Structure 1
Amino acid sequence: MLDQLGREINLKNTPKRIVCLVPSLTELLVDLGLSDWLVGVTKFCIHPENLRKQKTIVGGTKSIHADRIAALKPDFILCNKEENTQEIVVACEQIAPVYVSDINDFDSFYSFVDDLGTLLRCKPQAEALVTAVKNRLEQFRAKMVSEPVRSVLYIIWKDPLMAAGRVTFINVLLEVCGFRNSIAEEHSRYPEVDSELLKKADYVLLSSEPFPFSEKHIAEFETQTEAQILCVDGEYFSWYGSRLLKAFDYFQDLVFQMK
Structure 2
Amino acid sequence: MIIGLALLLAAGPRQHLGPPAPAEVRRLVTLAPSLSEIVLALGAQDRLAGVTRFDDDARTEKLPRIGGYNDPQPEAVLAVKPDLVLAEPSPENRGPVETLARLGIPVEAFPLATVANIEDAVSAIAGLLGLPERGRALRESLERAREQARASAKGRSPTRALLVFGLDPLVVAGPRGFAGELLEDAGGENAAGDSALPFFRLSTEAAVRSAPQVIVLCGVEAPAGRRPIPGLDARVASLRSTALLHPGPRLPEALADLRAALAR
Same fold (TM over 0.5): yes
- The 3 A distance-change label for structure 1 pair 194 and 226 is same
Written as runs of structure 1 = structure 2, the 5 A alignment for 1:192-203 is 192-199=201-208, 200-203=211-214
**In the alignment, which residue of structure 2 is the partner of 1:27?**
37
CA contact (8 A) 2:15 2:110 kept: no
What is the number of equivalent residue pairs in this alignment? 250
- The 3 A distance-change label for structure 1 pair 156 and 106 is closer
Q: Which runs of 5+ in 2 are unaligned?
A: 1-11
Does 1:179 pair with 2:188? yes
One-letter amino acid of the structure 1 residue matched with residue 54 of structure 2: F
1:163 to 172, 184, 200: 172
1:65 to 69, 73, 78: 73
Using the TM superposition, name which of 155-164 and 73-82 deviates more. Answer: 155-164
**In the alignment, which residue of structure 2 is the partner of 1:140?**
149
Does 1:238 pair with 2:249? no
One-letter amino acid of the structure 2 residue matched with residue 41 of structure 1: V
- When normalised by structure 2's length, the TM-score is 0.84
Does 1:225 pair with 2:236? no
One-letter amino acid of the structure 2 residue matched with residue 243 of structure 1: R
CA contact (8 A) 1:169 1:238 kept: no
**In the alignment, which residue of structure 2 is the partner of 1:249?**
256
By how many angstroms is 1:66 displaced? 0.9
Secondary structure, counterpart of 2:165 in structure 1: strand
**In the alignment, which residue of structure 2 is the partner of 1:44?**
54
Secondary structure, counterpart of 1:57 in structure 2: coil
Does 1:79 pair with 2:87? yes
Q: Which runs of 5+ in 1 are unaligned?
A: none
By how many angstroms is 1:238 displaced? 3.4
2 CA distance for matches of 1:251 and 1:129?
A: 21
**In the alignment, which residue of structure 1 is the partner of 2:8?**
none
CA contact (8 A) 1:203 1:228 kept: yes
CA contact (8 A) 1:218 1:230 kept: no
2:159 to 132, 147, 150: 150
- The 3 A distance-change label for structure 1 pair 246 and 103 is same
Using the TM superposition, name which of 162-171 and 82-91 deviates more. Answer: 82-91
1 CA distance for matches of 2:140 and 2:44?
A: 19
2 CA distance for matches of 1:165 and 1:252?
A: 18
One-letter amino acid of the structure 2 residue matched with residue 163 of structure 1: V
- The 3 A distance-change label for structure 1 pair 75 and 44 is same
**Deviating runs (4+, > 4 A) in structure 1?**
none
- When normalised by structure 1's length, the TM-score is 0.86
By how many angstroms is 1:50 displaced? 4.9
2 CA distance for matches of 1:124 and 1:7?
A: 23
By how many angstroms is 1:218 displaced? 7.5
